[in-house]
Structure 1
Amino acid sequence: MTKSLVQGAFYLTIATMLSKIIGSAFRIPLQNIAGNEVLGIFTLVYPVYMTVLILAVAGIPLAISKLISESRAIGEEENIRHIFITASLLALLFGCISFVGLLSSLDSLVVLLGGEYIRLSIIVISFSLLIAPYMAVYRGYFQGFDIMKATAVSQVIEQIVRVFFILLFAFFLVQQNQPSHIVTAGVMAGSIIGVFASFVYLRIYYTRVGPKPKEEPSQKYNWQAFKLWSKKILVLAIPICIGIITLALINLIDSLTVPTQLRAIGFDEETIPYIYGYYGRGLALVQIGVVFAQSMVIPLIPLITSALVKGEKEHTSSLTEKALSYTHLTSWPISIGLLALTIPINYAFFGDFRENAVIAILHFNALFTAFAIMTTGLLQGMNRSFHAALIVLGCAALKVILNIVFIRHFGLMGVAISTVIVYALMTIFNLVLIKNTITLKMWKRHHFIYGLSAIVMGIVVALPLYWLDLTEWTRGNTFVYLMGMILLGALIYGGMILALKGITSRELKQIPYIGKYISNGG
């Protein structure tokens, strides 16, 4: 692998990580500006949009990046122009169909999602579907040429612009004393602006400095070319689509089932979004917790695919084991740390102590969510996208059943419990399938060290809460305390894994750019 490709993958990983953090953390200031009800409506509506968007894009970016890479590798660059045109037409077609389909099903969604308060938000966010799929094609095109920088920058631009306008519109509409459903619709408009800003950047990059194929097609683009390449794109894209839809699909099922079940146990239409806002609090930080796994998936898939195509079974196993090890390394401390510090997090960031138990369970689920996302991506790289898709769909069906049963017995807590069960099962099924595909040692000594170190860290940072009464503190004091505990937790975890040799100096050196400084002690 060339140095430029390694750097490109690193840029994409960092950019994806940064954009995911920005795209998740904004829920904290949004709740503080607009309140729990707006956060609840947003948490109900946004998974609907994300699911429809993923279905509209249908894995097309990853599919065309793979087809373009293959065309370049075998010296058939004359195909690239036809691949790009076909993907653009498919993206525009799916975007328009999804836009019309979402609006035409609006009345049904209003009933399923709990009430009229979601109508305007869905209308507003649906317009993103006319831009986002076409924008995503450019990302796939650049990735096919191993140019990850364009995708990386566009992701960061999209999230910065999106979050800026979300918070700006929220602040302005709250100052105007607008009702919650109007404020949420304004928040959704920020997403449209973010997508458009990303598209403008990618289009300018493509026009000015973007890579062009060395050979142009000998024949003009026609209906036969469209049929040929659309079939190839969709054969690759549809299983990938279902694989990457994991997080959005589970959240969508919650959006569609939780309001109806909460109504069934006595909550009225006005109360549901407010109650669901507490669930949204937990999801905000869980998404930050799984950002490492999400950011690694895109650059990891082509590496594993390439190793398998070349028959490099040992290299495939090595890549898989490293990916799982890094997921252990990052997910254990994040999930245990969030669990241990749920009470100060809830008060410092959101202003009260309501539903601490629900949020704590969701925080712990960051561990299983990260592994579910990572293992689904690994299966895609091993050309087991179809089987990964079946696992996702099966777990999604189970989520529907568990939500119905558990909410009736445990209320909002039932949603959190069902979420943990579903992601844990998804992880187990994925790992079994991976082990049946390649030679894999799933549990190693250093994995145990990561888990043990995280648990010890969690106990230490949670212990002071046994004596402290945070209800007598200000939010500012609680925030300072929280930052101190996070720093202490990081020192304990890092110190333990180094002392127990959970990570070697050689592995430290392999971290791009900064590894040589860490391994040398600064």
Structure 2
Amino acid sequence: MQSKLLRGTFILTFGTILSKILGLIYVIPFFQIVGRQGTVLYQYSYVPYTIFISVATAGVPLAVSKFISKYNALEEYAVGRKLFKSGLMIMLVTGFIAFLAMYFASPILAEMSTQEKKANLQEVTTVMRAVSFALIVVPFMSLIRGYFQGHQSMGPSALSQVVEQIVRILFTLLGAYAVLNIFHGKMVTAVSVATFAAFIGAIGGLAVLFWYWYKRKPYLDELLEHDKGTMDISLKEIYKEIFISAFPFVLVGIANPLFQAIDQFTFSKAMSEIGYSSKVAKDFFSMLNFESHKIVIIPVSLATAFSLTLVPSITKAFVANDRKNMNRQLNQTFQVLLFLTLPASIGLSLLAEPIYTVFYQHDLIGAEVLRAYAPVAILFSLYSVTAAILQGINEQRFTILSLLVGLLIKLSLNIPLIKMMETKGAVLATTLGYTAAIIINLIVIKTYSRYPFRLVWRRSLLIIIFAGLMWAGTEVVYKFLSLFLSSASKGQSILIILVSAGVGASIYFYLGLKSGLANRLFGSRLDRLMTKLKLQKRRGSVED
């Protein structure tokens, strides 16, 4: 049973990571097809869509998955089926309400997003309405995924995620290309097709789930025949518990889009007030909220995914009141996070120009925005992990407080700082907002878990020193390569990145290995990797 669970978790994690990677890589060809004008329109629609989809699902699919798993363990299979059927109806209703809300609110959202003339506002409205159709399908699809996960069957969820992403990306790229280069249509049409791809992708993911349902239904029906039938569960009470427990996690999940939404609704206004034209303001907004953000989120996704795998162990230790083990797990989580995120964000900042060229085009202003924005990746990761730890120690109510404080700081300072520092002002406002939220989370963790941060502070200093030495080595190599390679060329930029990042990574991990820090953090996983790479002699040969 344990091996099946681990295998299922691995499949789902792999599917999620593959889906995220695909979702990050496609921006390279998409930018080449629609340019900055298209990405601005695209981003205007996607930030509100992300918020609407999170509110529409409200954490119900994950919660239903947990309840089904719980009642299956008690052999009360009928309760799980009853919950699933009611959940489908709820997701259909909330999805359709969210679709109607976004569809009819699009003109207002468009007006809030940009200081544009009426014709251009109509374009933003059209693109927002195109993506809103996905809201009808996605919550419904998410619940079916939750149902399979509740039966410890992760394959359907993983495959449907990947298929959904592949279908969405293909429709986005081929559709936008066809509109602009074959039918010679307008940019707004191309971007509308690209955002409508979310609906088409969801249909693809749903088709996979329906196929699995058709194949597995005989087995699932057979389980009902073995139902004990001793429990009469009130769905009203279950959903009350679901919504109360899920609300903080919904907020944490949309923290990033909420910060982006503040930029979307205030950035153009602030830039126009200091004399920038509408076009320049939109270009700067795209550099910040789409182009740089898509790159910055890469190390965040990987580091956070690695760190969050440790959270269940924290929960287990907290419930068992095993203070020593819980402190050890918290030490591990914070150190792993910093060990992975700090060098990645420094590397992104240092190599911002060639990285920006590879992903989009050679643009010195865009590279400067990425350089300033890259270090914020550390805060994004820290916020996600500290919020997850609050969940682990059953103090998730404080995540609402910390997020609201962070958003209030962002909202209060965004326009003044943009007027003072332009795009970097928006980055600074985000930094200050996230910093405040993280400090609150850390205070709560220290107060309620009585966790001493001493070891983490010491190890953090060591990681910072290693990252500083890595930065120095990478900077020297980068400056040397820049003497005869140009960051204006995509091909040469790739070479600069590979060599510079390779040297930097080698320095960093060499220091991590020599100091023993890497071994303390990754233990047996690192030993297996080292053995495979033949960088470490087998212990047997040493003993001989």
TM-score (norm 2): 0.87
Q: 1:247 aligns with which of 234, 243, 256?
A: 256
**Quick one: distance in 2 between partners of 1:313 and 1:500?**
27
**Quick one: distance in 1 between partners of 2:528 and 2:340?**
19
More contact order relative to length (CA 8 Å, sep ≥ 6): 1
| 2:299–2:345 Cα contact (<8 Å) kept | yes
Q: 2:168 aligns with which of 162, 169, 182?
A: 162
**Quick one: distance in 2 between partners of 1:484 and 1:144?**
46
What residue ranges of structure 1 are gaps of 5+ in the alignment? none
Q: 2:445 aligns with which of 428, 434, 445?
A: 434
Q: 2:501 aligns with which of 465, 469, 486?
A: 486
SS in 2 for 1:384: coil
| 2:19–2:165 Cα contact (<8 Å) kept | yes
Q: 1:458 aligns with which of 458, 471, 484?
A: 471
Deviations 1:189-215 (CA, angstroms, capped at 9, x unpaired): 222222221122123223323773555
* 1:121 maps onto 2:130 in alignment: no
Alpha carbons of 1:501 and 1:344: their partners in 2 closer, same or farther (altered >3 Å)? same
Q: Which amino acid aligns with 1:68?
A: I
**Quick one: distance in 2 between partners of 1:101 and 1:47?**
15
Match of 2:11?
A: 11
Q: 1:174 aligns with which of 177, 180, 202?
A: 180
**Greater CA deviation, 8-17 or 282-291?**
8-17
Match of 1:379?
A: 390
Deviation at 1:388, TM superposition (A): 0.9
**Quick one: distance in 1 between partners of 2:57 and 2:326?**
28
| 1:340–1:459 Cα contact (<8 Å) kept | no
Alpha carbons of 1:14 and 1:329: their partners in 2 closer, same or farther (altered >3 Å)? farther
Deviations 1:100-131 (CA, angstroms, capped at 9, x unpaired): 11112122111111141311111110000000
Deviation at 1:290, TM superposition (A): 0.6
Q: 1:196 aligns with which of 193, 203, 219?
A: 203
Match of 2:148?
A: 142
Q: 2:462 aligns with which of 434, 449, 453?
A: 449
Deviations 1:395-452 (CA, angstroms, capped at 9, x unpaired): 1122111212111212222111212222222222222222223243441554433332
SS in 2 for 1:191: helix
Q: 1:396 aligns with which of 407, 415, 419?
A: 407
Match of 1:350?
A: 360
Match of 1:257?
A: 266
- The number of equivalent residue pairs is 520
Deviation at 1:501, TM superposition (A): 1.3
Deviation at 1:92, TM superposition (A): 1.4
**Quick one: distance in 2 between partners of 1:444 and 1:65?**
38
Q: Which amino acid aligns with 1:162?
A: R
Match of 1:272?
A: 281
| 1:508–1:518 Cα contact (<8 Å) kept | no
**Quick one: distance in 2 between partners of 1:324 and 1:39?**
35
Q: 2:513 aligns with which of 498, 502, 505?
A: 498
**Greater CA deviation, 198-207 or 102-111?**
198-207
Alpha carbons of 1:364 and 1:402: their partners in 2 closer, same or farther (altered >3 Å)? same
| 2:76–2:230 Cα contact (<8 Å) kept | no
After TM superposition, list the pairs within 5 Å mapping 1:353-364 onto structure 2.
353-355=363-365, 356-364=367-375
Structure 1 stretches of 4+ with a deviation exceeding 6 A read: none
Q: Which amino acid aligns with 1:184?
A: V
**Quick one: distance in 1 between partners of 2:327 and 2:61?**
26
**Quick one: distance in 2 between partners of 1:57 and 1:487?**
42
Match of 1:366?
A: 377
| 2:60–2:243 Cα contact (<8 Å) kept | yes
**Quick one: distance in 1 between partners of 2:86 and 2:245?**
14
**Quick one: distance in 2 between partners of 1:203 and 1:512?**
42
**Quick one: distance in 2 between partners of 1:404 and 1:33?**
32
| 2:8–2:153 Cα contact (<8 Å) kept | yes
SS in 1 for 2:152: coil
| 1:82–1:229 Cα contact (<8 Å) kept | no
| 2:486–2:492 Cα contact (<8 Å) kept | no
After TM superposition, list the pairs within 5 Å mapping 1:8-407 onto structure 2.
8-74=8-74, 76-114=76-114, 115=116, 116=121, 117-175=123-181, 176-209=183-216, 212=220, 215-216=226-227, 218=229, 225-279=234-288, 280-296=290-306, 304-355=314-365, 356-407=367-418
| 2:357–2:488 Cα contact (<8 Å) kept | no
Q: Which amino acid aligns with 2:267?
A: V
Match of 1:421?
A: 432
Match of 2:541?
A: none
After TM superposition, list the pairs within 5 Å mapping 1:466-477 onto structure 2.
466=479, 468=482, 474-477=489-492
| 1:42–1:184 Cα contact (<8 Å) kept | yes
TM-score (norm 1): 0.90
Q: Which amino acid aligns with 2:36?
A: N
| 2:95–2:139 Cα contact (<8 Å) kept | yes
**Greater CA deviation, 8-17 or 43-52?**
8-17
| 1:243–1:385 Cα contact (<8 Å) kept | no
| 1:22–1:159 Cα contact (<8 Å) kept | yes
| 1:20–1:287 Cα contact (<8 Å) kept | no
**Quick one: distance in 2 between partners of 1:516 and 1:154?**
35
Q: Which amino acid aligns with 2:180?
A: V
Deviation at 1:300, TM superposition (A): 5.4
**Quick one: distance in 1 between partners of 2:531 and 2:72?**
34
| 2:530–2:536 Cα contact (<8 Å) kept | no
| 1:38–1:277 Cα contact (<8 Å) kept | no
| 2:75–2:227 Cα contact (<8 Å) kept | no
Q: Which amino acid aligns with 1:41?
A: L
Alpha carbons of 1:230 and 1:342: their partners in 2 closer, same or farther (altered >3 Å)? same
Alpha carbons of 1:207 and 1:149: their partners in 2 closer, same or farther (altered >3 Å)? same
**Greater CA deviation, 485-494 or 336-345?**
485-494
Deviation at 1:378, TM superposition (A): 2.1
Deviation at 1:353, TM superposition (A): 2.7
| 1:27–1:39 Cα contact (<8 Å) kept | no
Deviations 1:301-332 (CA, angstroms, capped at 9, x unpaired): 55544554454554444443333222122111
Deviations 1:465-493 (CA, angstroms, capped at 9, x unpaired): 54636658533212222222222222122
Deviation at 1:226, TM superposition (A): 4.0
Percent of aligned pairs with the same amino acid: 25
Q: Which amino acid aligns with 2:25?
A: A
**Greater CA deviation, 314-323 or 91-100?**
314-323
